[in-house]
Structure 1
Amino acid sequence: MRLAVIADIHGNLDALEAVLQDLRPQGIDRLYINGDVVNRGPDSVACMRRVLEWSHTDLPQPEFTLGNHDDLMLLWQARSPLLPAEWYADPFWGATAWSARQLERAGMLAPIAGWPMSLRPHTPGLPQVVIAHGSPQHYREAIGTFTSPERGAELLAAAETGVLVASHIHRPMVRQVGLPQIGTREQPEGWLINTGAVGAPFDGDPRARYLLLEADQGSWTPSICAAPYDRTGVLERFGTSGLLEEGGLSALIFLEELKSARSLYTPFWEWTSAQGLGKDAASWGVFRSLNPHLFVPV
């Protein structure tokens, strides 16, 4: 039994195709897409079509969880009061507005609304697996190397699982966490895993990352896989698609993230907020000058 979990495609069709090509010879029995198919990159519509209009006879039909960027598209187009009202008129949110418009015009928003927050694929004779974009408690909860052993054990116990698969932060991780008991079943340790990102890695490695879970003598063996691909096409489509022109500064930041395989959007947001500065081109220039190490191309 082999399970594959891919996540954080973020509108990067070339990275998605590289992962699917990498998966084909591996005998995958089940495939899960753990949120954030869309936004950030120029190919949100194409990526949605690829995963919804499934034509891969050599790969199983995928199941989905809801990611925060997927949900953001729904909230944005609905002008939801769950988002700050000032965001809708703020040019900094231009890339989000552009992606949401593209998806609505293509009729690709409705399927997102039906995606669950988590999945519990069950395989007889093997520890329970739980898949959630962030954590089962919230799709924005970050799970990574910074997660304490105590919090990891809490998450596994709360989900009543031996294997918790998260994504969201775009940095892969595989860790064993001590857990004396899950429900009534003795389980000496569990797995706390982050899949990493297909379309926008943040660990300095531009390859598209995904997770394989392989059954081995009544337990799961996880491994993070990496699929190299040529980024030239997706980088060019930031310009040819209209995303850079209409998306403004946020689209430029997403482009720079793809070039460097490092997180820029969140650090820039946090820095401007701490300094009381606007999220504009002038602030971006200062941020770049203060953090040259983040912009080194991979």
Structure 2
Amino acid sequence: MFLCKNFVGQANLWRKLLTNHAASNILPSFNNYSGLAVCSQNRCLFSHKNERNTYHITKLTPLHRKWCSRGLLDRDAGDLLTVQHNRVQKKITDLFPMPRATLNELTSKTPNQIFEIHYKQNTVAPKGRKKVVQNNDWTCTYTFVWPEKKKFESTAISKRKAADKAATQAIHWLFINKRIDAKGCPVYDKNVLDDIKKDFNEPLEAAISDKSVKLIGKIWKEYESGIKNIYEATFKEARQKMIEMPAVVTKDSTIDEELKQHVHPVYGRNVPPATKAALERRDRALTRKFKAYDEDLTPLPIDEY
């Protein structure tokens, strides 16, 4: 009985050693995978065949621990994706701090109108006899036709906040889909650029209805019969007066400086140029007043400096 237990124990020991030896020799490239690093027998099941003496893997966790973070292995993967998404949103918000202005500039840089804005105020009918004033929310909707038909809607307590939220959503969508660059300029496909260049070279075409043609003809006849003669006579008379005027008046600038009269800006009188004696007399009067000036009786703000 004792010998039987001894043989069974040695057989189990050799079986474990052979299994570990096979796991380390046959699968050297999977040592970094989850499961083999902890316990090979728990995660990998082997089936032994006598005719070929080979081992086959029936289950292996395809998660490489070397290149994965601990949070991705131990927690939900959605947490990491949420953090990355928030970082991308913050980056876009920093690039475009004024989303509404960015969208307006984007419209000015495109040949056609790419979106429309619609506002709507949610109205709630008050119940009861006493009508209470309610702050109805505003809903702003950005409807895009380029690069594809898309709608962005947001609701807020004010019209401006609702527009900012909807514009922010539109900016994020355009930037993530690579339809605008970091400066807010539109990004077109190569085929679209070729079509735009073709449209630039093509002549413009306009369609006018028969009713509009008749109306234009009527207006032209009235101009030829009554208005044209009046304009031509007026221009001819003005041209003749310009020819008879002196050269001083016909200059592009104003009348020459020497012909101007010096008029006082307040009283409207002619101001003769001051003589040297008048200037000296004015200086003596100011000097005399300055010597009699009393700082204590008449303080001025400039005295501190």
Does TM, normalized by the shorter one, top 0.5?
no
Q: Which has the higher contact order (CA 8 A, sep 6+)?
A: 1
Compare the two structures and name the one with the higher strand fraction. 1
Structure label with greater radius of gyration: 2
TM-score (norm 1): 0.16
